[in-house]
Amino acid sequence: MGIIPFSQQAVRKEFFFIKTHIPGDTTIWFCGAFWAAPATGADSKAGTVVHEHSHSDANTDDLTYGQTNARALATSKPDQAVRNADNYEYYAGG
Ligand SMILES: [Zn+2]
């Protein structure tokens, strides 16, 4: 995982919430959509913080996004689900 070029971020969920992923950096740079998200529940501020800190604290990646895809990954490939940031997000609050 490294710094994602801005043009590639546009197609990723994080584009709406943060600016970059920097390995080892625990700073989360929130973008405008973060503040419009609900405080708790699916795709919320709380879930986003869990998601982003799973990258820095548990070295997760973004193998897939969204509740449906995360649930399917957990069912079909649990060894990959433990490495996927959205699985932590939805486990914690989605
Ligand atoms: Zn992510």
What mean pLDDT, rounded, does the chain reach?
A: 78
What CA–CA distance (Å, rounded) separates 76 from 33? Answer: 31
pTM exceeds cut of 0.85? no
Tell me how far the alpha carbon of residue 19 lies from the centroid of ligand 1, in angstroms: 11
Residues 6+ apart with CB under 8 A from 90: 42, 47, 67, 70, 71
Averaged over 15-37, what is the pLDDT?
68
N-to-C CA span, the chain: 24
Ligand 1 center from residue 83 Cα (angstroms): 11
- Please tell me the predicted confidence (pLDDT) of residue 24: 64
30 Cα to the center of ligand 1, angstroms: 13
Task: Cite the active site residues.
Answer: 52
